[in-house]
């Protein structure tokens, strides 16, 4: 559906217009049209393609969705695909926003994304001196908003990692910790897939030959690039910490198993000594020392207890028990 369809002139809002009147305003000087769509159907995309003369390949990408984040040039226009990330409980929902940018229009199409960009429109309308740059400034504002929304997601993932690390050293269930760490690693990869491809693409908007639409906006797109670099570095560092936490968790499991084996070996030794002595005195030979000795039984039991007590304290001192 169409969320907004607004015409702007000289950096200020001119009027809310009907989609059938778009072609009238697109041709006016110092005027551009900003249309926002949410989960559009094929017919709505076809209407926008006719109204703005959009490139069919770009429209095809927007129609099918699930695009890799990218910025592509089609003549004097741009097609931008961005991923949006939203927390839904323990899950990370991945949406998409496709932006068509021309000299006198900007069309944003968001799919599978609950949170809109009304605050971006309000921000632009509060800054008419910047909005005079036209659709290039709106493109920057939308990209900046999408990238800024990655930071709370990354902060939440770091908080989850800290909680898991505390559970690792508190002796909680090792299997649950491994599953949580693996799930966290998958979320970080999802975030990396949203951030990584944009680094190279955004770099083309402020350095070297930039599209005419983005001329004069270099410092703004460089700010977006700096945010992406910071995000990418933090994601890499967090991923390394997740891998290290998994290694530590597995090492603790091995140590715990070693402690269990040592305890079992110690208890086995305590049982083996009396068994050996009882086995010797249980042999049915006619001629055996102490066989008819009155103190033979208490001597054998005392010997068993004495050796076990000695071994018990030796094992305790060696921290096997």
| Residue-level pLDDT at 287 | 67
Distance, CA of 163 to CA of 260 (rounded, Å)? 27
Structure tokens at 63: 């129609």
Residues whose CB falls within 8 Å of the CB of residue 31, separated by 6 or more in sequence, listed in order: 7, 8, 9, 14, 25, 104
In the numeric block, which tokens belong to residue 29? Answer: 């000087």
pLDDT tens, residue by residue, 221-257 = 999 999 999 999 999 999 999 999 888 888 877 777 7
C-alpha angle with apex 195: 128 to 154, nearest 5 degrees? 95
At the top level of CATH, the class of 258-317 is: mainly alpha
CATH homologous superfamily, domain 1-130: CorA soluble domain-like (3.30.460.20)
1-130 matches 258-317 in fold: no
Give dist(CA 110, CA 142) in Å, integer.
11
pLDDT-derived band at 286 (thresholds 50, 70, 90) equals: low
pLDDT digits 0-9 by tens, 19-78: 888 888 888 888 999 999 999 999 999 999 999 999 999 999 998 888 889 999 998 899
Q: Tell me how far apart the alpha carbons of residues 44 and 96 are, in angstroms, rounded to a whole number.
A: 17
pLDDT at 187 over 80: yes
Closest CA to 146 of 191, 102, 203, 184: 191
Q: What is the C-alpha to C-alpha distance for residues 304 and 295, in angstroms, rounded to an integer?
A: 14
Q: Which is more confident, 301 or 160?
A: 160
Q: What is residue 267's predicted lDDT score, i.e. its pLDDT?
A: 79
Cα separation of the two ends of the chain:
70
Model confidence pTM above 0.75:
yes
For the chain, count helices (H), then strands (E). Answer: 10, 7
Each domain of the chain, given as residue ranges in start order, spans: 1-130, 258-317
Q: Give the bridge partners for 4, in sequence order.
A: 36
Strands 2-9 and 91-102 come out as: unpaired
User: How far apart, in whole angstroms, are the C-alpha atoms of residue 25 and residue 57?
Assistant: 25
């Amino acid at each position: 559906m169409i969320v907004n369809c607004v015409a702007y002139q000289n950096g200020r809002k001119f009027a809310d217009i009907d989609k059938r009147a778009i072609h009238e305003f697109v041709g006016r000087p110092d005027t551009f049209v900003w249309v926002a769509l949410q989960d559009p159907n094929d017919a709505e995309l076809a209407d926008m393609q006719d109204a703005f003369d959009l490139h069919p390949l770009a429209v095809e990408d927007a129609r099918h969705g699930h695009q890799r984040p990218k910025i592509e040039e089609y003549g004097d226009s741009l097609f931008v695909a961005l991923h949006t990330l939203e927390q839904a409980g323990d899950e990370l929902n991945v949406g998409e926003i496709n932006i068509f940018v021309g000299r006198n229009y900007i069309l944003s199409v968001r799919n599978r994304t609950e949170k809109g960009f009304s605050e971006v429109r309000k921000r632009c309308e509060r800054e008419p001196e910047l909005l005079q740059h036209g659709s290039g400034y709106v493109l920057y504002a939308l990209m900046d908003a999408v990238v800024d929304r990655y930071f709370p997601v990354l902060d939440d993932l770091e908080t989850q990692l800290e909680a898991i690390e505390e559970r690792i050293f508190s002796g909680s269930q090792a299997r649950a910790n491994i599953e949580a760490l693996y799930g966290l690693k998958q979320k970080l990869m999802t975030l990396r897939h949203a951030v990584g491809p944009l680094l190279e693409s955004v770099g083309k908007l402020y350095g070297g030959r930039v599209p005419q639409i983005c001329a004069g906006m270099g410092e703004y797109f460089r700010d977006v690039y700096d945010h992406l670099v910071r995000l990418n570095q933090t994601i890499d560092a967090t991923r390394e910490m997740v891998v290290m936490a998994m290694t530590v968790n597995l090492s603790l499991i091995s140590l715990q198993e070693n402690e269990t084996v040592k305890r079992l070996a110690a208890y086995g030794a305590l049982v083996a000594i009396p068994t050996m002595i009882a086995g010797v005195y249980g042999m049915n030979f006619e001629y055996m020392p102490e066989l008819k000795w009155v103190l033979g039984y208490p001597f054998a039991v005392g010997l068993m207890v004495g050796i076990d007590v000695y071994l018990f304290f030796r094992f305790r001192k060696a921290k096997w028990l």
